[in-house]
Structure 1
Amino acid sequence: MQSQHKIVAVLLGIFMSFLAPSALADLLSENSAAKAEYMEAQRNSEIYSLIGERVIPVGQVKKGQLLQVFPAEAEYYEFKFGNGTGFIDKEDVRSVAKSRKGNDSLAELNKQVTNQNLITQRPINVYTRADSDSETFGVLEENLRYPIIGKLKDRLNNTWYEVNIGQRLGYVSEQDCEIDNGIPVLTYHHLLKNEENKRFRNTSTTTSDVAFSNQMTYLKRAGYDTISMYQLEAYLNNQINLPGKAVVLTFDDGLKSVYRYAYPVLKNYGFRATAFIISSRIKRHPQKWDPDSLQFMSISELREIQDVFDIQSHTHFLHRTGPNRKPILLSRSLHNIEFDFERSRRALEQFNPHVLYLSYPFGGYNQTAIQAAKDAGLHIAVTTVQGKVKPGDNPYTLKRLYILRTDSIPTMAERIANKPGAVVTQ
């Protein structure tokens, strides 16, 4: 037990600081070229991995089972775990003869990514064959997303999912888990107290401070992790391990009400969020609070919220509608749109040198806008089309969800739960 606590302490020291996916991938692949070796678990051994931004126990490998591990200059070995790296105490495994590498086909384990994950809602067994009477390879803990590399049917026509743990092929029954139906990306704009909301009561994009606080309280109590857009990008590309309960919080426009009402709640719960800022509307100095007008955050206010909010782009001058009430972006040329995207990135670099993500104004986009986003070096663009985000989705047309001030907490819970098609149109 003491050695396991030592592993956690060592790994937490390495990983607790935030890393962008590219840096994380580089760090975790340092040993990829090192000589791998199959080792046998000497006892039922706890394993760990980086899930989101925390190194946590993620399961167990049973005594006598083999893992392909990589050497590390620490008290643990590394091995392939999902879309990342797992860790096991060096004292828990021992070298085995080459003849004991197991019967798993490396071709089977290295086949094409399926863009599908399973989600564990409780600790589940991983078997050595697609048979619950077969030997147990190990256990996956609850609240994990784990990549599926294949599916098959057993003799009773039950479905089994194939998974790769330490270059060993394992089998999970579909009855023990759920299929990952995507991560909800929640959209917010304006917040006001009910008693001060005179102008925006009939605006669907305005929510109350009480409704927002209740929604965040639900997320906290239900065990959701708030993940960043960087992590969402890595999830899209099958480059990161994430918890089963994950949500992205986004706020469009950069309104002062977000600083006033959302920021304290998010900070209190230790949540992270993304603010998509209209860069031309940033104020030089903070404005006196006026609930009857749409006010935008100042430079100092944007700097203050950065311990919670990641600053990204909502364009520079393109957040307007034309005479036909359609977003002007839809009528602009490729060059014009690209110039605006790049100008917004430059304006926001004072807050964030990694402006890689975009929210289309009013959710309006077309192929020209998508091409402009690519040309401007942006990695992801979000829309107002309702739905969740799954691996393999087009990164320039990602869906989001609205939770309205009139929505009950059970309605919110249903909408963001891991269920297919849990979307309600505004």
Structure 2
Amino acid sequence: MLVLLLFIMVLPFAEKAFATNTVIQVNEEATVFDNRSGSLVQVGTLSAGQTFEVTKDYGANWWQIRWGGYYGYVEKRYTTVVSAKNYKNTVPAVAKIKDYIVPTSVAPIYDNTGNKLVQFATLSEGVRFPIYNRMGNWYGIAVNGRLGYVHSNFVVEEKGQDTTNTNTNTNTNTTKPPVEKPTTTPHPPSKQNGYIEAVENVILYDFRREKAMAIATLMKGQQLEIVDSMDPTYVQVRWGKSYIYAEKSKVKIINTPSYKNVGKDNAMKNEYFIPISANSEIYDKATKALQPFAKLDTNRRYPILRKEGDWYVTVLGGREGYIHRSKIAIDRGVPVMMYHHLLKEHELGRFKNVSTTMTDVQFAKEMTYLKSKNYETISADELLRFMRNEITLPAYSIALTFDDGLLSTREYAYPVLKNNGFKATQFLITYRNENSNDGQIFNYNDLQALSRQDMTNMQDVFTYGSHTYNLHDLVGNKGKMLLIPYHEVVQDLQRSIAIIPKAKAFAYPFGQYNANIINAVKEVGFTMAFTTKVGYNNPYDDVYQIKRLSSNQQTTFEQFQKMVLPYAH
């Protein structure tokens, strides 16, 4: 909140013109804010992977873009400057505003210039936005000079008086119908309400990660409620607080379902189960005889609606499904492993039985186990998106982290991780890395830091976060970070980011922090922070207090196996 207030206070003075045609690419979904009220109000979002031209640069933290008849502001940390835009449908800004749309819920905005609709932004509920043109059931709107379409089911139309848009050029020819597009590029199709019935067993996919995830299989002849069918290839159904998709070619649209057990997807709690049996069907219990209608994946988490005796109830596509408690385990969240220093047994010396050191043999054995059980090592960014409930992750997901940026990770962790196809995050004390010589020879009697060259050479396995620039020290039992003025903490973290500018993750030295430290971490632009608190991580948990687990010389292999399970054994 402090950062946002500072933004509002300095906005009139921080403004400077930016080179025309500067284009940004959104790295992850970014919020668009309106500051005209004196506080920041969310008016929409920009989708990951999409490009937009900016109108002005507002210093270190903000871009200004056109947003309807005024301006919106986007945080730079979610973007990258790129050489060119990736869209075709450029339009002149609207010079005369007559009518508006007002979303009745979050309204997706689509680009229709390709073979399928692509969402590139959203409008927030209740935000008035001028209409550029109409096309059947769709409203065309000019989003920062880009033509987008919003379906009428998401909005209401509002008539208004002519208003000159000072955020435009002088083009007033806005009532002319759009040029008819070639038939090879379809117009946005109209939404079809109703239900789908599977004409064969059909897989339901989640597309929110880079790779499509199969969530469940709808059995032949079974039905689910449609949320939307605008895409020419897929039909959208609700799943918890998100959506999954069935191929249109494998379903038929019907008006009335034969099932009665309607469920409310949005009523889901923040509790999940994981199927642990190959017999993972969910049943319709509205009739006397149990009728399976979908099969769940044993490497997925499913939201729990409620528990009835020995049965757990979930909802898929607006339909309640029951699964027996003997077939599931209660999800406890994503484990994040914390490692530091690795040595061979004969090299331990003064590090024998030190909790932050383990042997290379033990580490290799743990990684081999994860590989044998098909664990997926997720990035810090994917963990962040999971905790924001923006994506789901396989049940057997794990994040691997290394604190202190030690050279022993080059010797003993990197080869093992690379051989297993694993990814991990290193938290660096960047002053030490900055002052380490390239090509240094490993000395197991010392604690050496990775050099910049080491970091570059290992970026196919490691991403890098911050462990401060030079605040990883204890004064008595207290971390130095807790004992210095706030502005000095911020300055140190800014120096750290200067060395690893892509860093979005931070780890608290010695696991010590307080509210001021969290604010400093947020202020300099970190989107998440890791603690040494023991536990697992779930959607809606605090992303600035991420819990971790550790393995050391005293950890048995059996203890490690139980530790990394996504559910209590």
TM-score (norm 1): 0.83
Determine if contact 1:20/1:230 at 8 Å carries over to the other structure: no
Q: Which amino acid aligns with 2:514?
A: N
User: How many residue pairs are counted as aligned between the two chains?
Assistant: 390
Task: Check 1:132–1:209 CA distance in 2 against 1; reply closer, same or farther (3 A cut).
Answer: farther
Matched, 1:292 2:445: yes
Deviation at 1:81, TM superposition (A): 4.1
Q: Which amino acid aligns with 2:515?
A: Q
Determine if contact 1:116/1:391 at 8 Å carries over to the other structure: no
Deviation at 1:334, TM superposition (A): 2.2
Matched, 1:183 2:305: no
Query: For 1:49-80, what per-residue CA distance to the aligned partner results, in whole angstroms no more than 9, with x for missing partners?
Result: 35865435433112232231644656444444
> Per chain length, whose mean CA-contact separation is higher, i.e. which structure has more relative contact order (CA < 8 Å, sep 6+)?
1
- Name the counterpart of 2:245: 87
Deviation at 1:198, TM superposition (A): 2.3
List aligned pairs for 1:388-407, cutoff 5 A: 388-407=536-555
Task: Check 1:105–1:335 CA distance in 2 against 1; reply closer, same or farther (3 A cut).
Answer: farther
Determine if contact 2:229/2:236 at 8 Å carries over to the other structure: yes
Matched, 1:360 2:360: no
CA distance in 1, matches of 2:483, 2:231: 57
CA distance in 2, matches of 1:343, 1:158: 56
Matched, 1:304 2:441: no
CA distance in 2, matches of 1:25, 1:271: 31
Task: Check 1:54–1:100 CA distance in 2 against 1; reply closer, same or farther (3 A cut).
Answer: same
CA distance in 2, matches of 1:40, 1:341: 55
Q: Alignment partner for residue 518 of structure 2, among 370, 394, 399?
A: 370
Deviation at 1:404, TM superposition (A): 1.0
Matched, 1:127 2:278: no
Task: Check 1:74–1:25 CA distance in 2 against 1; reply closer, same or farther (3 A cut).
Answer: farther
Matched, 1:162 2:314: yes
Q: Which amino acid aligns with 1:60?
A: T
Task: Check 1:233–1:133 CA distance in 2 against 1; reply closer, same or farther (3 A cut).
Answer: farther
Task: Check 1:130–1:389 CA distance in 2 against 1; reply closer, same or farther (3 A cut).
Answer: farther
Query: For 1:152-184, what per-residue CA distance to the aligned partner results, in whole angstroms no more than 9, with x for missing partners?
Result: 42xxx3342222x23434333333211111221
CA distance in 1, matches of 2:345, 2:46: 46
List aligned pairs for 1:69-84, cutoff 5 A: 70-71=228-229, 75-81=233-239
Query: For 1:229-255, what per-residue CA distance to the aligned partner results, in whole angstroms no more than 9, with x for missing partners?
Result: 111112212221211111110000111
Q: Alignment partner for residue 293 of structure 2, among 114, 137, 140?
A: 137
- Name the counterpart of 1:316: 469
Determine if contact 1:252/1:314 at 8 Å carries over to the other structure: yes
Q: Which amino acid aligns with 1:261?
A: Y
Query: For 1:313-350, what per-residue CA distance to the aligned partner results, in whole angstroms no more than 9, with x for missing partners?
Result: 1111111111x14211121222222222222122211x
Determine if contact 2:28/2:48 at 8 Å carries over to the other structure: no
Q: Give the structure with the larger strand fraction.
A: 2
Determine if contact 2:329/2:567 at 8 Å carries over to the other structure: no
Q: Which amino acid aligns with 2:248?
A: K
CA distance in 2, matches of 1:131, 1:116: 27
Query: For 1:289-323, what per-residue CA distance to the aligned partner results, in whole angstroms no more than 9, with x for missing partners?
Result: 2111111111111011111111111111111111x
CA distance in 2, matches of 1:130, 1:379: 45
- Name the counterpart of 1:26: 47
CA distance in 2, matches of 1:255, 1:132: 63
Task: Check 1:203–1:357 CA distance in 2 against 1; reply closer, same or farther (3 A cut).
Answer: same
Query: For 1:17-76, what per-residue CA distance to the aligned partner results, in whole angstroms no more than 9, with x for missing partners?
Result: xx9653899369756966354322112223333586543543311223223164465644
Deviation at 1:285, TM superposition (A): 2.0
Give unpaired runs (5+ residues) of structure 1: 1-18
Q: Give the structure with the larger helix fraction.
A: 1
Task: Check 1:260–1:131 CA distance in 2 against 1; reply closer, same or farther (3 A cut).
Answer: farther
Determine if contact 1:48/1:55 at 8 Å carries over to the other structure: yes
Deviation at 1:199, TM superposition (A): 3.0
Query: For 1:106-129, what per-residue CA distance to the aligned partner results, in whole angstroms no more than 9, with x for missing partners?
Result: 8x2223x52211112234112233
- Name the counterpart of 1:14: none
CA distance in 2, matches of 1:51, 1:208: 38
Determine if contact 1:39/1:96 at 8 Å carries over to the other structure: yes
- Name the counterpart of 1:61: 218
Q: Which amino acid aligns with 2:487?
A: H
Q: Which amino acid aligns with 2:212?
A: V
- Name the counterpart of 1:12: none
Give unpaired runs (5+ residues) of structure 2: 1-25, 31-44, 50-107, 109-117, 123-149, 152-190
RMSD value over aligned CA atoms?
2.9
CA distance in 1, matches of 2:313, 2:330: 10
Task: Check 1:301–1:85 CA distance in 2 against 1; reply closer, same or farther (3 A cut).
Answer: farther
Deviation at 1:85, TM superposition (A): 4.4
Q: Which amino acid aligns with 1:378?
A: F
Task: Check 1:195–1:25 CA distance in 2 against 1; reply closer, same or farther (3 A cut).
Answer: farther
TM-score (norm 2): 0.63
List aligned pairs for 1:206-221, cutoff 5 A: 206-221=357-372
Determine if contact 1:21/1:234 at 8 Å carries over to the other structure: no
Query: For 1:271-300, what per-residue CA distance to the aligned partner results, in whole angstroms no more than 9, with x for missing partners?
Result: 111111111111252322211111111111
Matched, 1:344 2:496: yes
Matched, 1:408 2:556: yes
Determine if contact 1:187/1:249 at 8 Å carries over to the other structure: yes
Partner-residue secondary structure (3-state), 1:401: strand
CA distance in 1, matches of 2:46, 2:251: 26
Instruction: Report which of the two structures shows the higher radius of gyration computed on alpha carbons.
Output: 2
Q: Which amino acid aligns with 2:536?
A: K
CA distance in 2, matches of 1:152, 1:386: 28
Task: Check 1:226–1:119 CA distance in 2 against 1; reply closer, same or farther (3 A cut).
Answer: same
CA distance in 2, matches of 1:25, 1:181: 32
- Name the counterpart of 1:43: 200
